Amino acid sequence: MSIVAPFLAFLLAGAFAAYHRIRLAYWAAITASLLVACWLLGANHTATIVAAVLVALVAVPLLIPGIRKPLLTAPLLKFFRKVLPPLSQTERIALETGSVGFEGQLFTGDPDWKQLLDQPRPLLTAEEQAFLDGPVEELCRMTNDWEITHVHADLPPELWAFIKKNRFFGMIIPKEYGGLGFSALAHHKVIQKIASISSVVSSTVGVPNSLGPGELLNHYGTQEQKEYYLPRLAVGEEVPCFGLTGPFAGSDATSIPDYGIVCKGEWNGANVLGLKLTFDKRYITLAPVATLIGLAFRMYDPDGLIGDTRDIGITLALLPRDTDGVEIGRRHFPLNSPFQNGPIHGKEVFIPLSQLIGGVEKAGLGWNMLNECLAVGRSITLPSTGSGGAKAGAVITGAYARIRKQFGLSVGRFEGVEEALARIGGKAYMISALSQATAAAVDRGDVPSVPSAIAKYHCTEMGREVSRDVMDVIGGK
């Protein structure tokens, strides 16, 4: 036992320190104290010395920077630099854009829950509540998702007209430009409610209020662009879409092959300085019905017509649908869901520099602009859609489980079904809470890059799990 005691003290001190996350210096001091006690209490001296040497071999290199850096840190850093891909400029911008929020504290292991609980409760204004109780309620009553999916493969004309008339496309557009100027919370509530009736209608309303021409113009457009386009977008006179994704690129905008060359050309009968754009975009929501296309591309100025920089970088522009050379291809039908989605093509399509979002001053800043706006849209549209679908699933499945009977009992009383109902209800609550909290962060002035990514992933993933349980319960007839 006298031989085992020093090693037992070494292991127990290590386990205690690991469990309580004690600093290395404190662990070394505790272990040294235990070994001294073992020595004084008559433990085997050789075993105690061996245990002390083990402690020294761990503690000394890690605690002394002069030893740790050249022997451990530098070689490890060199190794990881070789095996890991370098951080691209796109990734660096994405990491540096926006704010972290309370979620960052979760990774410290010691979050300040009081800070979270002290945040003010988000509330709708009277105008926003009236919109939710009026036009949104009416839109839900008008929506027949079965007909949209199986008869029309589109929204019926009266639904399109109602959406445009009541400025559903202008929720994020300020009132001064004819929009509704709603808060992020109101935006969340509207999308959530519509999604509980039809995901096709919710995506149709959600996309123009997410990342796209409206959001980008509102933040970065020139005054002339805002005054011309925003009022038209608010009332649906212009239906927007945004082309970023292509056959070979999605989130990584630096890999997009689409490009624009600065040159002179003819626009509305005048010879002006502009761009010849060549692009191939796919999976663009609302593209088949869009009248105004936002486009991301890499901009080049080989002849130095606007400056000394040849590769200017990712840039954003606006293209009217009727621009010569713009081609919108056949609709995609992803999973046979009839929301409007399709490809956009163009070869040497000429536009003037005035069509760049924000003008020439914003040329090359497209990726920064996208990331700053993406965080806001991503915080609301997808989480809210997931929340609406999960809540609808909870209500419908709960009602079905009560009405459907087998062996003289409602199927909802069977333990296997009860487990599924519990998962559905719990996840619907979590999705709702998370999506509302993220929308509230936007209203507080945050640009929640990290929270929006967390919300987007977990809300859609939990929504998928809810859908699976709903199908298991209702499909098990």
Q: In a 3-state reduction of DSSP, which class is residue 285?
A: strand
Instruction: Give the sign of the dihedral formed by CA 218, CA 223, CA 226, CA 229.
Output: negative
CA-to-CA distance for 293 and 296, rounded, in angstroms? 10
Q: Can you give the pTM of this predicted structure?
A: 0.82
Say if residues 114 and 168 touch (Cβ distance below 8 Å). no
Residue 394 in this model has a pLDDT that exceeds 70: yes
Report the pLDDT value the prediction gives residue 1, as an integer from 0 to 100. 56
Q: Where in 122-269 does DSSP place strands (E)?
A: 240-243, 259-267
Residue type, 40: L
Question: Is 371-475 CATH 1.20.140.10?
Answer: yes
Q: Which residue has the higher pLDDT, 401 or 337?
A: 401
Give tens-digit pLDDT for 417-433.
999 999 999 999 999 99
Return the minimum-mean-pLDDT range out of 135-139, 166-170, 251-255: 251-255
- Structure tokens given for 449: 């890059």
User: Average of pLDDT values for 8-26?
Assistant: 85
Return the minimum-mean-pLDDT range out of 83-92, 101-110, 391-400: 83-92
User: Average of pLDDT values for 185-208?
Assistant: 95
CA-to-CA distance for 84 and 346, rounded, in angstroms? 37
Q: In a 3-state reduction of DSSP, which class is residue 296?
A: strand
Report residue 234's pLDDT band, with 50, 70 and 90 as the boundaries: very high
Residue 354 in this model has a pLDDT that exceeds 90: yes
Average pLDDT over the chain, rounded to an integer: 90
Q: Residue 249: what are its φ and ψ, rounded to 5°?
A: -150, 145
| 259-267 and 341-352 beta bridge pairing | unpaired
All residues at 6 or more sequence positions from 402 whose CB lies less than 8 Å from its CB, including other chains:
410, 412
Report residue 335's pLDDT band, with 50, 70 and 90 as the boundaries: confident
Residue 253 in this model has a pLDDT that exceeds 70: no
Report residue 180's pLDDT band, with 50, 70 and 90 as the boundaries: very high
- How does DSSP classify residue 42? T
Superfamily name and number for 243-364: Butyryl-CoA Dehydrogenase, subunit A, domain 2 (2.40.110.10)
Residue 189 in this model has a pLDDT that exceeds 90: yes
Per-domain residue ranges for the chain?
4-83, 126-234, 243-364, 371-475
Report residue 477's pLDDT band, with 50, 70 and 90 as the boundaries: low
- Structure tokens given for 13: 């001190």
Q: Which residue has the higher pLDDT, 460 or 96?
A: 460
Q: In a 3-state reduction of DSSP, which class is residue 59?
A: helix
Say if residues 94 and 368 touch (Cβ distance below 8 Å). no
Report residue 351's pLDDT band, with 50, 70 and 90 as the boundaries: very high
User: Average of pLDDT values for 369-392?
Assistant: 87
Residue 254 in this model has a pLDDT that exceeds 80: no
Residue 99 in this model has a pLDDT that exceeds 80: no
Superfamily name and number for 126-234: Acyl-CoA dehydrogenase/oxidase, N-terminal domain (1.10.540.10)
